[in-house]
Amino acid sequence: MPTTYLEAIREGIWEEMERDENVFLLGEDIGVYGGAFKITAGMLERFGERRVVDTPISESAIVGAAIGASFNGLRPVAEIQFADFISCAFDQIVNFAAKCRYRWNAPVPIVVRAPSGGGIHGGPFHSQNPEAWFVHTPGLKVICPATAYDAKGLIKAAIRDDDPCIFFEHKALYRRIKEEIPKGDYTVPIGKARVFREGSDLSIITYGAMVYEADEAANQLAGEGISVEIVDLRTVLPIDEETILESVRKTSKVIVLHEATLTGGVGAEIAARITEKAFDSLDGPVVRIAAPDVPVPYSPPLEEAFLPNAAKIVEKARWLLNY
């Protein structure tokens, strides 16, 4: 039976809590209510209130408590109810958790789960994609799964990792994406991209929900005889540079796509690396597609205009292919 993206994350967390008694959860409304998106439903009843901890509405306290618990041998999974509010815990994450390994070789095995992204008409405070803030911070690992298989494998890998991991879950994928996933134990390696779709004429480098917009665009372009390769990064820190460059050298034309706003985004870093290390393989400029530099609109028609989509990708792809 196919498993949803949401249920895959839930299964991964549940299995890790069964496997290791040091894994525990904390966050707003995760216990009695079962989480805003119901990922932690039933976990309070199974694991008890010492391992499923409802917290006050204080993201800084949630992450700070997680860091302290990790110093005492525990492996906390902290939920930020909406990724937008992770900014309230910014100091704890970037100035403390990210620096401990460097300062005194102290592991900080925490996972900060952050439901992110648009497409749900949540407006400017419940729809952001803030991954670029953390990609700029050495010491963190930043994970953005697109598939149910990867969501489960990566949440398990993140829980087992001894460094702080920020785990961005795209809300629009929670119940939309379904696939068959193995029932046995497995993990997906952090920092390793995968080729989501093989192609020869054009590469699209992307992650998260944009993988599916890229795939829809690739299907349209296939009808025109154009073969598109899609690289799903899966992890945006560390970036799998090898897989990106291999695809670019294969196709010679590349689009870098992300849902987050354009300026200072992950796409700028990828574009720079491609230009520095694969310039001789390019037959056209590196093209970025992203959201415009404005807050996420609440109005459904405005949000639709704001978000990158297959039609915008097809238009840019045709331009690049004709360059």
User: CA dist 222 to 213, 215, 228, 307, Å?
Assistant: 14, 10, 8, 23
Evaluate the CA torsion angle 68, 74, 75, 78 in order and state its sign.
Answer: negative
Catalytic residue list contains 136: no
User: How many Cβ atoms sit within 10 Å of the Cβ of residue 101?
Assistant: 16
Maximal CA-CA distance, the chain:
60
Contact call for residues 29 and 79 (beta carbons, < 8 A):
no
Q: What is d(CA 261, CA 250) in angstroms, rounded to the nearest whole number?
A: 28
Among the listed residues 121, 126, 170, 258, the single catalytic one is 126
The DSSP secondary-structure symbol of 91 reads I
Contact call for residues 193 and 208 (beta carbons, < 8 A):
no
For the record, the structure tokens of 245 come out as: 């460059």
Contact call for residues 53 and 28 (beta carbons, < 8 A):
no
User: CA dist 219 to 52, 176, 215, 225, 280, Å?
Assistant: 43, 19, 6, 10, 28
Chain-centre distance of CA 133, in angstroms? 13
User: CA dist 225 to 34, 220, 221, 287, 318, Å?
Assistant: 48, 9, 7, 21, 12
Contact call for residues 247 and 206 (beta carbons, < 8 A):
no
The residues annotated as belonging to the active site are 126
